[in-house]
A and B are shown apart, each in its own frame.
Chain A
Amino acid sequence: MSNRSVSQIVDREYLELRGKLLELAASFDRVDRASGASDPRLNLIRQGLGLLTDDKPEKALRLQQLFSREYSVNWRSELGV
């Protein structure tokens, strides 16, 4: 657990967070202006965005899991190793 208060963290990171949000918004604007069919990878990106605004902890860990291939305990037999 961090010893810093919420205000201390926001004081330091507010402009940085605002800037990151603007970069995301601009990226989605570019996608909106682009031609052609949608790309399935955008679904993952949208799921990730949803995860950022839920009320659960460990957002970075869960975002990593969202973008990860699953592990199978039977990987040796599946690969023939």
Chain B
Amino acid sequence: MYYIDPHIHMVSRTTDDYETLARMGCVAMSEPAFWAGFDRGSVDGFRDYFRQLTEVEPRRAAQFGIQHFTWLCINAKEAENVELSREVIAMIPEFIKCQNVLGIGEIGLNKNTRNEATVFLEHLELAARLDQLILIHTPHLEDKFQGSRMILDMLQGDSRLKPERVLVDHVEEHTIRHVLDAGFWAGMTLYPITKCTPARAADMIEIYGTERLCVNSAGDWGPSKPTAVPDLIIELRRRDHGESAIRKIVYENPIKFFKQSSNFKFRAPTDE
């Protein structure tokens, strides 16, 4: 089955991983800007990173027939440095017209602090001004519920932002209902320990259905598994879910969300 991974950090993966993903049926992916495992010291560090996301990774993916899209921001961890964050936000318009940029992301909260909220709101202002899609990172573990509610409060506080143009990622059992009920898209991240397993994701699909729901691997530099989406496909098949329902989750839903961006020029695989 062809699938799209809507949230995977390929800068952290080897070229062999691209080949494995292609063999597993991955035809497109989107890569949000994120924390590199260390705090970067200057805006030029981010400029180089944005070039990697908009120039280098699309070429690496294309070698294996995978279309690579991306999102730009300064992530929540580094948002504690408000001065640097503002420099990065001011630089984003330089890159927003690049062919593979879908919007602003992954913005959000980490420890739910004042500085993180301030920088999040300034990202929202940029997204609204440039009419961009938004990809949201929600915090992990004990911070997730509180941070997710704060994020929803800020999103709903800006009438310029349409819920159908926002994907809230890393939802789990205690946050998914809040996200979907407010009209946003929800993303489940399949990731050991801190996020969600394929079995629990399948449970949430059975409870909440397939509308406005996506699934991704994160596939970052942590103990993640870039082929986690095919793991969910297998789990759903073992539970006798139909192929059309599975395809909706792993292929059609990401397309439906992404195509709201004029930069999403997706070439679907054909038999010709």
- Taking beta carbons and an 8 Å cutoff, which residues of A are in contact with B? 1-4, 12, 58, 60-61, 64-65, 67-71, 73, 75-76, 79-81
Contacts and interface: CB of A to CB of B under 8 A. Distances in A.
B146 A69 contact: yes
Interface string B160-181: 0000000000001110000000
Interface of B: 112-114, 117-118, 121, 141-146, 149-150, 153, 172-174, 200, 203, 206, 238-240
Interface of A is mostly: loop
B186 to A, nearest CB: 15
B114 to A, nearest CB: 4
A79 B117 contact: yes
Contacts of A61: 173-174
Given A2-B206, A68-B174, A81 B121 contact: yes
B121 A68 contact: no
A67 B144 CA distance: 10
Interface of B is mostly: helix
28 contacts: A1-B206, A3-B240, A4-B239, A4-B240, A60-B173, A60-B200, A60-B203, A61-B173, A64-B144, A64-B145, A64-B172, A65-B145, A67-B141, A68-B142, A68-B144, A68-B145, A69-B143, A69-B145, A69-B146, A70-B146, A71-B145, A71-B150, A75-B150, A75-B153, A79-B114, A80-B114, A81-B117, A81-B118
Contacts of A1: 206
Contacts of B239: 2, 4
A71 B149 contact: yes
Contacts of B238: 12
A4 to B, nearest CB: 7
B142 A67 contact: yes
A65 B143 contact: no
A81 B151 CA distance: 13
Nearest to B114: A79
